[in-house]
């Protein structure tokens, strides 16, 4: 086995568990909050589950391991079940990023706790878990900030439409069919990385320092 192949396998083994957990909990949070507001669509589709295979998007998963930016298969939501669609959808959209922020905080706390036990347990036993926890902090911060970008159909776009007056919200929703193309253009032009990387680095330092 070549050195590069060995490094890829090691990186995959460290990144895969926290990435799968982050995506699964993100989408589960969306589906659960929608369910609590009266929408059974995610439950009927079998998406209220901790099984990551139900949430994975093939392209989003592959790109994460190539360029470290990825996504899951969106949980289906039917706003017609909501009593107040705009307000309820805002909370459904916010649930995913909030879940990732909570996972980042818990991962950072566990990482610090593990660091205190290095004199009790051998470092070779703790190291894989500490690397996964460190990756989990970064992955969850990245997913939270990435999804809070105010571009439909990202969560931030749905949050924005829930906050705007109805007429302005209508204009923002019209962008949604082109939102993914817009995001790709902004990402590869350097606008998105230039905007979110300082936020990710700041949040990461805040949790881990």
Rounded distance, CA 12 to CA 44, Å? 32
pLDDT reported for residue 1: 55
Rounded distance, CA 144 to CA 28, Å? 14
pLDDT reported for residue 102: 98
Q: Are 133 and 107 in contact (CB under 8 A)?
A: yes
Could you give the dihedral angle defined by the CA atoms of residues 181, 182, 188 and 194, in that order, rounded to the nearest 10 degrees?
-150
> Annotated catalytic sites, by residue?
27
pLDDT reported for residue 104: 98
Q: Are 92 and 34 in contact (CB under 8 A)?
A: yes
108-130 pLDDT, tens digit per residue, is: 999 998 888 766 666 666 788 89
Rounded distance, CA 161 to CA 170, Å? 8
Alpha helices in the chain (DSSP H): 3-36, 41-44, 58-67, 85-116, 123-147, 155-163, 166-173, 176-188, 191-208
Residue 39 reports pLDDT greater than 70: yes
Rounded distance, CA 8 to CA 129, Å? 18
81-118 pLDDT, tens digit per residue, is: 999 998 999 999 999 999 999 999 999 999 998 888 76
pLDDT reported for residue 29: 97
First to last CA, the chain: 37
Rounded distance, CA 49 to CA 27, Å? 9
169-205 pLDDT, tens digit per residue, is: 888 888 888 877 887 788 788 888 888 899 999 999 9
Q: Are 87 and 162 in contact (CB under 8 A)?
A: yes
Rounded distance, CA 200 to CA 98, Å? 15
């Amino acid at each position: 086995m070549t050195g590069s192949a060995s490094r890829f396998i090691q990186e995959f083994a460290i990144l895969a568990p926290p990435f799968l957990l982050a995506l699964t909990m993100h989408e589960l949070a969306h589906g659960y909050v929608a369910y609590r507001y009266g929408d059974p669509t995610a439950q009927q589709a079998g998406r209220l589950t901790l099984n990551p295979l139900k949430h994975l998007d093939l392209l989003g998963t592959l790109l994460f391991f190539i360029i470290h930016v990825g996504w899951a298969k969106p949980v289906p939501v039917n706003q017609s079940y909501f009593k107040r669609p705009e307000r309820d959808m805002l909370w459904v959209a916010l649930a995913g990023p909030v879940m990732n922020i909570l996972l980042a905080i818990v991962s950072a706390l566990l990482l610090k706790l593990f660091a205190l036990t290095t004199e009790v347990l051998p470092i070779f036993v703790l190291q894989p878990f500490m690397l996964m926890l460190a990756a989990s902090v970064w992955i969850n911060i990245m997913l939270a900030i990435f999804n809070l970008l105010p571009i439909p159909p990202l969560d931030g776009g749905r949050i924005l439409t829930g906050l705007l007056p109805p007429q302005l919200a209508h204009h923002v929703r019209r962008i949604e069919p082109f939102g993914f193309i817009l995001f790709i253009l902004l990402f590869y032009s350097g606008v998105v990385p230039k905007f979110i990387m300082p936020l990710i680095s700041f949040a990461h330092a805040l949790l881990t320092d």
